Amino acid sequence: MVMLQRCILKKCLQQFYLGNQETTKSLLSAGFTPARLGGHRAAGHRSKSSVPDVRERTLIAVKPDGVQRRLVGQIIQRFEQRGFKLVGLKMLQASDDLLSQHYCELRTKPFYPRLLHYMTSGPVVAMVWEGHKVVQTSRTMVGHTNPVEAQAGTIRGDFSFHVSRNVVHASDSPEGAQREIQLWFQRKELLNWDCCDQTMTCEV
């Protein structure tokens, strides 16, 4: 019996990591708890949506100036209000190593040493948001890289005035988002969960 259970559990984990929700569902109904199927699913809350666009994810980070200026709550509120789903959140002191990977395309830029100094000057609040076209929409919500060019109503347009202190990071493409999410978060730190307003915000 124990062998059989182990065998089913192994198969389930394989399917689970391959994203086969149906197998996981049937094993859940057979009495395997979400915790046994992989700790990163919130107990009792499994995300039903299988539409790829709806499950798009992006990395948003409140940079050290945003944290110091106590803007974290207002920034989170904008993404919540827009209807996106928070699936990962943590505060951390970013290391040089993490940032050099995160900003690998900017390593040769003259401002890079100052960027690194700024980004390590205090804690960062990193988040993963999920939803339909969340990458593109959040870039619009965040605004132009240079706050001088950012529209009023965007986060940078409302809270910042200089490119070297632009308050928030947002991934610039779905591929970039995937790369960045893997850099900043472990798989188990991201939760799949269903919002109670799921039919309004997720099943579009």
Q: Is-catalytic flag, 169? A: yes
Q: Does 58 bind ligand DAT (CB under 6 A)?
A: no
**How many CA atoms lie less than 13 Å away from 100 in the CB half-sphere?**
5
Which residues are CB-neighbours of 116 under 8 A, at least 6 positions away?
96, 99, 100, 103
- Min dist CB 52 to ligand DAT, Å, is 23
Of 61 and 202, CB closest to Mg ion: 61
What number of chain residues touch ligand DAT (CB under 6 A)?
9
145's contact among ligand DAT, Mg ion, none, with CB below 5 to 8 A by partner kind, is ligand DAT
35's contact among Mg ion, ligand DAT, none, with CB below 5 to 8 A by partner kind, is none
Binding residues for ATP: 63, 111, 139, 145, 156, 166
- Min dist CB 133 to ligand DAT, Å, is 17
Q: Does 102 bind ligand DAT (CB under 6 A)?
A: no
Secondary structure of 22-70 in the HEC alphabet?
Answer: HHHHHHHHCCCCCCCCCCCECCCCCCCCCCCCCCCEEEEEECHHHHHCC
> Dihedral, CA atoms, 85, 89, 95, 101, nearest 10 degrees?
-20
Q: Does 183 bind ligand DAT (CB under 6 A)?
A: no
Which of these ranges, 6-14, 128-136, 158-166, 178-186, lies near ligand DAT under the rule CB under 6 A?
158-166
Q: Look at the chain and count its residues.
A: 204
Binding flags for Mg ion, 141-180, as an x/- string (CB under 5 A) = -------------------------------x--------
| Residue 169 phi, psi dihedral angles, 5° rounding | -110, 145
- Which residue in 104, 107, 127, 118 sits closest to 181, CA to CA? 127
- Which residue in 88, 100, 92, 87 sits closest to 67, CA to CA? 92
Active site residues: 169
Q: Give the interface with Mg ion as residue ranges (CB under 5 A).
A: 172
Binding site for ligand DAT (CB under 6 A): 106, 111, 115, 145, 163-164, 166, 169, 172
